């Protein structure tokens, strides 16, 4: 007999490429067995939404998981993109029908400008196909699905454009790359900031969350523990970064950069 607690999340479908896991009533995680981020389906009483969709190459497998639940792409009212990285949004261009696509305004801007560097297009080897964002989200927006009410929280850090969605009544926290099970962090990319990351994690710590639904990895029923570990790690990363900065010859490395800023200011004055 094993003392190990059985996973509270039933696996509905599992094959070589993907699995479909029930996170709560009418909430499903679709996990791919490559680099694609997790996709989530939330079937509300009024509206059905997806949160992230994974890579475009995974689209057939996404369809397979949706078909298991009797859902087709036109049944999805809204597709919410957690941030601009293509491992989360690559397949979004397939949703060209009646589905409305929403993302934080800073992610929407990068996606609409086809800012490949920010979206990591080369890293994920995704086709250069436009994705149209219909609704530009902000902190404080609310997505009302009937029996689910998802609060849009602006949680920058991993990039400048990350959002988390939180259902207060059910304690569901969709945290994408901001918080992962075991306190794993998504890293700090070009437009991100470790200080913003710490502030975002502190906000997530203040929530009465019960289930963590992340961009990568398994589901977690211990989000409070996960966020505490992530906060410790983020502070360690902040001090490691400061030590690295000290170890570099800061003056000779940064003076040319500062000098160029001053020169630009001089041009402005003339």
Task: Work out which of 37, 79, 91, 185 binds Zn ion, going by CB under 5 A.
Answer: 37
Q: Is 177 in the site for Zn ion (CB under 5 A)?
A: yes
Task: Work out which of 85, 94, 110, 170 binds Zn ion, going by CB under 5 A.
Answer: 85
Q: Is 167 in the site for Zn ion (CB under 5 A)?
A: no
Round to whole Å and give the CA distance between 208 and 128: 40
Residues 6+ apart with CB under 8 A from 228: 183, 205
Closest to 132 in 3D by CA, of 77, 189, 187, 93: 93
Task: Single out the segment in contact with Zn ion by CB under 5 A; choices: 21-29, 37-45, 219-227, 240-248.
Answer: 37-45
Closest to 148 in 3D by CA, of 267, 22, 266, 43: 43
Task: Work out which of 73, 157, 192, 215 binds Zn ion, going by CB under 5 A.
Answer: 215
Least distance in Å: CB of 197 to Zn ion?
A: 12
Task: Single out the segment in contact with Zn ion by CB under 5 A; choices: 31-39, 91-99, 124-132, 226-234.
Answer: 31-39
The answer to whether residues 27 and 50 touch, using CB atoms and an 8 Å cutoff, is no
Name the residue with the smallest CB distance to Zn ion.
85
Q: Is 103 in the site for Zn ion (CB under 5 A)?
A: no
| Coil, helix or strand at residue 172 | strand
Residue 166 or 189: the one with the smaller Cβ distance to Zn ion is 189
Q: 217: left (phi > 0), else alpha (psi -120 to 50), else beta?
A: left
Which stretches of the chain bind Zn ion, using CB under 5 A? Answer: 37, 85, 87, 177, 215
């Amino acid at each position: 007999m094993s003392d190990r607690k059985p996973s509270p999340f039933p696996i509905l479908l599992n094959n070589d490429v993907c699995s479909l896991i029930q996170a709560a009533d009418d909430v499903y995680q679709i996990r791919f067995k490559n680099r694609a981020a997790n996709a989530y389906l939330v079937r509300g009483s009024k509206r059905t939404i997806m949160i992230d969709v994974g890579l475009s190459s995974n689209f057939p497998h996404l369809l397979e998981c949706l078909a298991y639940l009797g859902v087709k792409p036109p049944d999805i009212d809204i597709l919410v993109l957690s941030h601009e990285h293509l491992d989360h949004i690559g397949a979004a261009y397939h949703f060209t029908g009646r589905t409305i696509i929403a993302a934080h305004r800073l992610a929407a801007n990068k996606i609409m400008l086809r800012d490949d560097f920010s979206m990591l297009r080369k890293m994920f080897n995704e086709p250069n196909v436009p994705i149209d964002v219909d609704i530009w989200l902000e902190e404080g927006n609310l997505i009302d699905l009937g029996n689910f009410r998802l609060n849009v929280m602006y949680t920058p850090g991993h990039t400048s454009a990350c959002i988390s969605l939180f259902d207060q009544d059910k304690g569901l926290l969709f945290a994408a790359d901001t918080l992962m099970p075991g306190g794993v962090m998504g890293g700090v990319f070009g437009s991100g900031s470790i200080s913003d990351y710490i502030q975002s994690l502190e906000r997530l710590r203040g929530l009465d969350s019960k289930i963590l639904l992340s961009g990568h990895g398994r589901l977690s029923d211990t989000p409070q523990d996960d966020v505490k570990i992530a906060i410790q790690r983020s502070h360690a990363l902040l001090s490691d970064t400061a030590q690295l900065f000290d170890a570099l010859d800061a003056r000779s490395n940064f003076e040319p950069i500062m000098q160029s800023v001053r020169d630009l200011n001089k041009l402005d004055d003339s």
